[in-house]
Structure 1
Amino acid sequence: MKRLLSSLIILSFVFLIVACDNKEEFNHDPDFLLNFSNDSLTFDTIFSGLQSTTKQLKIYNPSSKAIYLDEITLENNNEGYRLNINGVDGNTARQVYIPAKDSLYIFVELNVPDNDQDAPRLVEDYILLTYNSKVQKFLLKSWAQDVIRFDNNELQTQEWTQNRPYFIDNNLYLKQDQILTIQAGTKVFFQKGAGIHIHGTLNIDGSFEAPVFFGSHRREELYKNVPGQWEGLFFYDESKNNFISHLKLENAIKGISAQSETNSNSLEIEYSQFLNFTTTGIKTNNFNLKMHDVIVSNCGEQAVLLEGKGDFEFSHCNFINNWFLSQRATPCISFLANEENDNALKIYNSIIWGSKTNEFECGQTNTFQFKNTLIKLNSEKQNIFSNRFENCIFNTDPHFVDKNNHNYNLNAESILIDKAKLDIANIYPIDFNGNSRISDTTPDIGTYEYVETTD
């Protein structure tokens, strides 16, 4: 019995020693600092009244000892930032435990109120971490932009300016006989499902220095070249005498859809770029369309689809379709209009290029005329349409500067240099970049005149 009692006493001492050895140690060093996954956390420009995406901050304890944070909170707590600390919503948490060599996560969102001001404003706050008798700060820094919204989705005659962006969260309808004028530098952002339906007249007056922008409200890098984020522009029967100059329109389902019951409507476009669409870039039905120095690229279907009746003239345009997000069954340009109208489609000094063998189709062989244009087309179709081509180039790489990033300026080795028709260049003497086409007597095919650079 004495031996058993002695053994129990010895075992108790052993367990006590082990328990003491396993007791967790905590870091109380006032000079110790936690590590952050980023130097600071920033959002792309946030529109007032609109929820940001969620970003995360990882806080790492590099010590071999655990640590208790007395408090995690926001310094100002009135700038619109919202925190989720280790899975718990709230801008303040107390007695936060981080084991040795371990971490915690803070998720951050931003929703700023409208201050009714034109200029973007800086929105700053700090996450404060109080521990070991000190405070360590982490910077939250973003820009907020107030926007113009519409309570009424029916538009009367009005003018939009560059003073403040416009935010479109539902379809807008420009009423018949009303005029919407959009000044240079204006930016218009659309939510998913939104677009503008034009029954009146649209005048977009951008400039080389200050183009007009139409695109998605998602400005994060992840969404930069994602099509299908909003609906597009739609023109109807009652819409007359529309003019678009210096517009960049991107990342929609459609770029422009112009449809009428009768062929008495017109749309003119110059110095504009249409980029990234899940369906068509520009589609017309019984609509007259005239364009010069226009780029249409990266479409899930046609870059340009022409149906019904109409007169079409395109000069110094780039129609380029290297769509890769899905299989594309249609060519870059489909001309399915005007079976009885000779030379209704005229394309001069332009580029029709893409990833398919044939990037042009038409319903009738006698209703179009191409001059001094690069075309991706097989030899069989070249022979069928041979009398419709004048000084055209077929199936030769245009040698763009960077087609993957939609930079369609010409490299020095491009076959398109000095191959455009001078008579057309004299009508449109300034290229997409604002450079002269007629500084010599041999202009270039496409929207961009090649300019030699010196190192």
Structure 2
Amino acid sequence: MKRSLYFLSTVVFLILWSSCRNDFEFSPNTGNLEFSKDTVYLDTVFTNIGSSTYNLKVYNRGNNDIMIPSIRLALGDASNYRLNVDGIAGKTFENIPILAKDSLFIFVETTIDITNFANLDGKFLYTDQIEFDAGSNLQKVELVTLVQDAVFIYPDRDNTTKVIETLKLDINGDTVETDIQGRELLPEELTFTNEKPYVIYGFAAVPSGETLTIEAGARVHFHSESGLIVSEGASLQVNGDVSSDPELLENEVIFESDRLEPDFANVSGQWGVIWLFDGSINNSINYATIKNATIGILCDGNPNIATEKLKITNSQIYNSSSFGILGRNTSITGENVVINNCGQSAFAGTFGGKYNFTHCTIANYWSGSREFPALLLNNFITDADDTAIVTDLTQANFNNCIIYGNDNPEILLDEIEDDAVVFNFKFTNCLIRFDSRNTNFTGANYDINDPTHYEGTIFNQDPHFKDANKNMLIIGEDSAAINKGLASFATQVPFDILNVNRTSAPDIGAYQHIVFPVED
């Protein structure tokens, strides 16, 4: 018993003694700090838009606990950078400890107003330094940010109520108030040039009776949950052009997110949609790249107009979290269109309509699970009571097209049969991934030997894409699509998406094949 009491009293004494002693005696910093990087690049930011948060790790590799007398921005309070050192925000910090063989995190952000800097041509490099200690122990880490000027389009906010302006749209001749945050474009905003990028917050709407013209080389960036609406009676004209160098995109029009950091370069669902309302007219898109949206293009209504509601040519749509192109009882013509990596279908023609696609590559190599194949066609919608409303699929022609992906099958022809409506479709000289042995896909629509629906079409042979997972859908010398295109369609679309002549020996899809370079 005595021994137990003695042991317990000894333990209590040691605990009390250790709680009273100064465990950590810090030595002065010796200027031998190490850093996870010698320069923190904050990538490109738009003027007056906050950057992402970047981190720097500071290491004490020595055997002694040390005290850093100061950590500060070289420009001090005038700096446009902001620091957070071990959870404390500021621009200057004193007496920062680091234990032996330990480290601390510094987080860096910035917001920069380009108008504060004179004689600039739209962009400039903003720099500063994080300084550690001083004198002979001074160490520095560079901070670098490219700042891009832009044209900002955003709805008004009431200063009192903080309520953000919502759109009023002309629908069926009536002005309808919506809960969509945004505003109509002003007359002076109806031409987007390539002089500065455009950054859109909320939805920018093209007013009825007006045309939004987007010139070659323009860049349009959307904030989260933002997009473009083309109202009833309005038009969209995207006038991109082929680049002098096919590997470059300087003459294309690019629609993407306002997150410019490399980590967001291929993240789907960062913004909303380009929405062509029922009643919008004469919409054309040429040489555009649309990426990282929720839906790349949503096209509604007008299936029976004399010319198609949307003509899209020489364009790419990638990384849509839902659909690349979603048509709803509408009319679309596509030539040299490439779509890939969509959370649902790359192309969906729903509730009937009229669709004609020639020399297109409609692929889906989405990395997660998805409900639908690369290509979906149906002739119905269901109302709130789950009652199906059926209408005509007047045309759905796919000529010299690749329809492929990482699932099988990659076509779904979802028809509700009705003697009063038609369901017309045809695949001519296409390369399709479709296993006809799948018992879930039987019936007349999937009879691949029926020449009224399938003519000259190849099934389940390798298109030999360069790297579909990286949206590189040009085909190589082992592709089953080589020389299998029908010449009459090649005459209709004589150049591929890279402006290579295809008339003498047309390949299926949007690209003529190349020989892939041998990688080291």
User: Which TM-score band (shorter chain)?
Assistant: 0.7 to 0.9
- Equivalence for 2:68: 69
Q: Does 1:350 align with 2:401?
A: yes
For residues 401 and 325 of structure 2, the distance between their equivalents in structure 1, rounded to whole angstroms, comes to 16
1:411 alignment partner in structure 2: 476
SS state at 1:286 partner: strand
| Aligned residue type for 2:110 | L
Distance 1:325 1:23, change over 3 A: closer
TM-score of the pair, normalised by structure 2: 0.77
Aligned position for 1:171: 203
Query: Within 2, Cα distance between the matches of 1:81 and 1:385?
Result: 66
* 2:217 aligned residue: 185
Q: Give per-residue Cα distances to partners, 1:154-203, cap 9 Å, x unaligned.
A: 11452101111111111111111111000111111111111111011000
1:208 corresponds to which of 230, 242, 262: 242
Unaligned runs of 5+ in 2: 1-20, 156-182, 244-250, 381-389, 437-441
Q: Name the stretch that deviates more: 88-97 or 257-266.
A: 257-266
| Deviation at residue 349 of structure 1 after TM alignment | 0.7
SS in 2 for 1:397: coil
* Correspondence list, 1:9-408, <5 A: 24=25, 26-27=27-28, 32-77=31-76, 78-115=78-115, 118-131=121-134, 133-152=136-155, 153-157=183-187, 158-199=190-231, 200-209=234-243, 210-260=251-301, 263-264=304-305, 266-326=309-369, 328-337=370-379, 344-362=395-413, 363=415, 367-379=424-436, 380=442, 381-383=446-448, 385-408=450-473
Distance 1:82 1:334, change over 3 A: same
1:379-411 alpha-carbon deviations (Å, 9 max, x no partner): 352347443211110111211111111111112
Cα distance in 2 for residues equivalent to 1:422 and 1:215: 35
Q: Tell me: CA distance 1:397–1:28, structure 2 relative to 1, closer, same or farther (3 Å).
A: closer
CA deviation map 1:9-33 (0-9, x unaligned): xxxxxxxxxxx9x99472465xx42
| Aligned equivalents of 2:367, 2:73: Cα separation in 1 | 45
Amino acid at match of 1:257: L
Task: Provide closer, same or farther for how the CA distance between residues 95 and 454 of structure 1 changes in structure 2, counting only shifts above 3 A.
Answer: closer
Partner amino acid, structure 2, of 1:57: L
Deviation at 1:104, TM superposition (A): 2.3
| Paired positions, count | 432
Mark the CA change 1:136 to 1:336 in structure 2 (over 3 Å): closer, same or farther: same
CA distance 1:262–1:445, change in 2 (3 Å): closer
Aligned 8 A contact 1:156 1:179 in 2: no
Please give the secondary structure, in 2, of the residue aligned with 1:115. Answer: helix
Number of the residue aligned with 2:514? 451
Q: Is the 8 A contact 1:118 1:145 kept in 2?
A: no
Q: Which amino acid is the alignment partner of residue 285 of structure 1?
A: R
Q: CA deviation at 1:135?
A: 2.2
CA distance in 1, matches of 2:398, 2:134: 71
Name the amino acid aligned to 2:124.
R
User: What amino acid is aligned across from residue 124 of structure 1 in structure 2?
Assistant: T
Q: Distance in 2 between matches of 1:432 and 1:81?
A: 43
Contact 1:156 1:178 in 2 (8 A): no
Deviations 1:90-117 (A, max 9, x none): 1001222333333222111111114285
| TM-superposed deviation, 1:118 | 4.8
Deviations 1:73-132 (A, max 9, x none): 111133410011222111001222333333222111111114285522101001111246
- Evaluate the alpha carbon distance shift between residue 206 and residue 118 of structure 1 in structure 2; reply closer, same or farther with a 3 A threshold: farther
Specify the alignment match of 1:16 in structure 2.
Answer: none
8 Å Cα contact 1:47/1:146 also seen in 2? yes
- The alpha-carbon distance between structure 1 residues 130 and 180, as it changes in their structure 2 partners (threshold 3 A), is same
SS in 2 for 1:423: helix
Once residues 212 and 270 of structure 2 are traced to their aligned partners in structure 1, the CA distance between those partners, rounded to angstroms, is 23
TM superposition shift of 1:52:
1.4
Which amino acid in structure 2 is aligned with residue 91 of structure 1? K
Structure 1 distance, partners of 2:62, 2:135, is 13
The residue type paired with residue 147 of structure 1 is: A
Query: Residue 165 of structure 1 contacts residue 186 of structure 1 at CA under 8 Å; is this kept in 2?
Result: yes
2:72 corresponds to which letter in structure 1? T
What is the DSSP-based 3-state SS (H/G/I as helix, E as strand, rest coil) of the residue aligned with 1:64?
A: coil
Whether contact under 8 Å (2:268, 2:321) holds in the other structure is yes
Q: How much has 1:66 moved relative to structure 2?
A: 3.4
Contact 2:353 2:393 in 1 (8 A): no
**Are the equivalent residues in 2 in contact too, given 1:237–1:262 (CA < 8 A)?**
no
For 1:14, the equivalent position in structure 2 comes to none
The TM-score, its normalising length taken from structure 1, stands at 0.88
Q: Which moved more, 1:405-414 or 1:92-101?
A: 92-101
Cα distance in 1, alignment partners of residues 473 and 339 from structure 2: 11
Specify the code of the residue in structure 1 equivalent to 2:427.
Answer: F
